[in-house]
Structure 1
Amino acid sequence: MRTADALRTLSSAAGSQRGLITTAQAARVGIDRTTLTRLATSEALTRVRHGVYALPGSDHDPHQDLRAAWLGTDPKRFADERAHDPSSPAVSHASAAALHGIGEVIPARHTFTAPTRKQTRQSDICYRRARLDDSAITVIDGISITTIPRTIADLAAEHTDMEYLAAVVRDATGAPQADLGDIAVALNPHAPAYGHTTGADLVQALLEIAGPPAAALQILQYAPSALVSRVVPERT
């Protein structure tokens, strides 16, 4: 296949992936490994990481490295085929916090959660095993990722430093995809590990540490009972 024809085929296939394509995806559209290697050698493609290539113009993607790592976790399927599928690995933990734009730490490795055990030889990728239902997954810029409440709960489950967790919760209160009550509910199982009885108590303590936005202060000041009622079941 001529270079121009191969690039057109790959570009069409990678439309939902910001110009990235995996070796397995390329095979699905008739481009074999030898052709990919030839295109990369001639610099018509750029090898981003093992098994993932970038087409010309894809360098404008601010999430390219994470996207390439995510595509590599389920390399045969295209992004739009797996984005809402809980059986496919999703970005999670500190990597999810970074993609959501909450918190202050840049993760050293890309973290993904998958329902089955997965291993990798790539040192910048780590997996967590857990089942995610539909309500725990959302999509940002075409990438499957845990929701903000689930992300915060995952960080708490790993005993994340309280100051870092506080910054995550503080930033989350300003995100349109997050609800303070949902965050409190998600934190309820982890509150005792941080010395609190309920998720609502923990949220309030975290916001006191980080310095909450005005909107969060108003929620806690004027509706604490409503928040607590969502976290603590009524006694029977």
Structure 2
Amino acid sequence: MSSEVLATVSELAAAQWGLLTTRQAVAQGVTRMQLVRLVDAGLLDRVEQGIYTMVSSTDRFQALHAAWLSLDPGHTVEERINKSREAIVASHTSAAALHAMGDLLSDVPELNTKRRKQTVRAIRLHRLPLTPEDVVLIDALPTTTPERTIADLVQSGHDLTHIADAIRDGHLSGILDLAKLREKLDTVAYRTPYGDGSELLENLLDLVGLSTAALVTSTAKSPVGQLIATTAIQHYQEGLLDQLSTSAFSSGVVEAIKQMTASTSMANLANPALTSGMADAIKQMTATASMANLANPALTSGMADAIKQMTLANRGFTVKDDPHTILQNTKGERQEEKEK
């Protein structure tokens, strides 16, 4: 066996995942008989008709690479990529496997072609329009981008749970752009129960615990999330009390507000000691990020009545419906107070 023949074959295979085709070899001056002798010598293995591999090859995607080569066996990988990367592209489950996204069954190579192809091999062919932005090279093999791959899987009707797993892997590995994915899903959402790409993506993310709602829930349950929430509440309360302390409210009002904001909820507004006017006033006040709205005329009457009632309550009185009538709790004696 000529060392020149072996060198030619090795050079061809080195740039093609350890593979070469009969037509490529013949174009380089290697005869079919010489290829057979290389197989007999244990230097080549015959993968399928017209395709060989070096025995030292450890390509885990050999079936996919061989299928891609078989659809245009007369040209090398370099020649085909330079001519058109979008001509024949690994897609769907094959692309997901190349991107290491999910665990979809990819035993049959899936390829997207611009033109109709005839093949007797076990290959699943698609004819979907692709743009150059839809294609990336993975180890020299043209492959649909992660975002386009997910969209193609949705369009083909794959189980959404399996697609969600693929999204999770792509997102966690950093190869998946969720904004681009949302745009791609807009074009295939009609194949699902969801109205558009945003709704579809949110539901897919929710299946794997990555939606906004799921992340908020998981964060809130974690020790770090609870610490963040507690710190935020404390800072809010401190700012609230600082502003109250600089106002014209009586010390009794400030003290009452302090007691209420000492808890993280407003449940104690239902305390019988407070009137509905106070409850409404406090709810409106704490619904905003600052106390600037205290000057709002809409709150004036409610706050005035609430402040009056709380101030009197702090001095030992209970206010009834008649604002001029006060019952003194300590002795139970009725006293009249003239309107100022």
TM-score range relative to shorter protein = 0.7 to 0.9
- Quick check: 1:151 aligned with 2:126? no
Deviation by residue 1:122-165 (Cα, 9 ceiling, x = unmatched): 12x11111232211111111211111111111111111111111
What residue number does 1:30 align with?
Answer: 29
Secondary structure, aligned partner of 1:17: coil
What is the alpha-carbon distance in structure 2 between the residues aligned to residue 140 and residue 37 of structure 1?
31
* Structure 2 equivalent of residue 201 of structure 1: 199
Pick from 158, 161, 164: which aligns with 1:163?
161
| Equivalent position amino acid for 2:3 in 1 | A
2:70 is aligned, of 66, 69, 72, to 72
Question: 1:86 touches 1:132 (CA, 8 Å); kept in 2?
Answer: no
Which stretches in structure 2 are left out of the alignment for 5+ residues? 217-340
Q: Which residue number corresponds to residue 122 of structure 1?
A: 121
Q: Please name the residue that 1:227 is paired with.
A: none
Whose radius of gyration is greater, 1 or 2? 2
Q: Is the 8 A contact 2:146 2:176 kept in 1?
A: yes
Change (3 A) 1:86 1:9: closer
- Equivalent position SS for 1:159: coil
The offset of 1:81, in angstroms, is 2.2
Q: TM-score, normalised by structure 1?
A: 0.83
Q: Report what 1:10 is aligned to.
A: 9
For 1:23-64, what per-residue CA distance to the aligned partner results, in whole angstroms no more than 9, with x for missing partners?
A: 111112111222212222332211122211112421x22222
State the shift of 1:213 in Å: 8.9
CA contact (8 A) 1:115 1:131 kept: yes
Alignment of 1:97-112 (within 5 A): 97-112=96-111
The answer on 1:61 being equivalent to 2:59 is: yes
> How far apart, CA to CA, are the structure 2 residues paired with 1:188 and 1:42?
55
Higher relative contact order (CA 8 A, sep 6+): 1
Letter aligned with residue 119 of structure 1: Q
**In structure 2, C-alpha distance between the alignment counterparts of 1:89 and 1:62, rounded to whole Å:** 20
Query: Counterpart of 2:206 in structure 1: which amino acid?
Result: E
Residue number among 161, 166, 185 corresponding to 1:187 in the alignment: 185
Aligned equivalents of 2:20, 2:149: Cα separation in 1: 27
Deviation string 1:161-204 (CA, Å, 9 cap, x unpaired) is: 11111111111212433200111111102213222222121111
Residue 116 of structure 1 contacts residue 130 of structure 1 at CA under 8 Å; is this kept in 2? Answer: no
Q: Tell whether the 8 Å contact from 2:42 to 2:55 is kept in structure 1 after alignment.
A: no
- Segment of structure 1 superposing worse, 182-191 or 33-42: 33-42
Pairwise CA RMSD: 2.2
Equivalent AA in structure 1 for residue 190 of structure 2: P
**Residue identity opposite 1:129 in structure 2:** R
TM-fit CA distance, 1:75: 1.1
| % same residue | 35
Task: Name the CA shift for 1:170/1:213 in 2 (closer, same or farther; >3 Å).
Answer: farther
- The TM-score with structure 2 as length reference comes to 0.59
Q: Secondary structure, in 3 states, of the residue corresponding to 1:145?
A: strand
Runs of 4+ in 1 over 3 A off after TM superposition: none
Q: How far, CA to CA, are the matches of 2:131 and 2:147 in structure 1?
A: 13
Amino acid corresponding to residue 12 of structure 1 in structure 2: E
Secondary structure, aligned partner of 1:14: helix
**Cross-structure match for 1:47:** 46
Aligned residues: 215
Aligned to 1:21: 20
Instruction: Tell me the distance in 2 between the aligned counterparts of 1:14 and 1:207.
Output: 41
| CA distance in 2 between partners of 1:10 and 1:183 (Å) | 42
- Contact 2:203 2:211 (C-alpha < 8 Å) held by counterparts: no
Q: Quick check: 2:101–2:169 contact (8 Å CA) kept in 1?
A: yes
> How many Å separate the matches in 1 of 2:27 and 2:129?
28
Alignment-mate amino acid for residue 56 of structure 2: G
CA distance in 2 between counterparts of 1:43 and 1:213 reads 54
What amino acid does structure 2 have at the position aligned with 1:102? M
Q: How many Å separate the matches in 2 of 1:62 and 1:167?
A: 22
- Residue 100 of structure 1: how far off its partner (Å): 0.8
After TM superposition, give the deviation of residue 66 of structure 1 in Å.
1.7
For 2:80 and 2:3, locate their aligned partners in 1 and report how far apart those are by CA, in whole Å: 29
- Mapped to 1, the partners of 2:173 and 2:81 lie a distance apart of 21
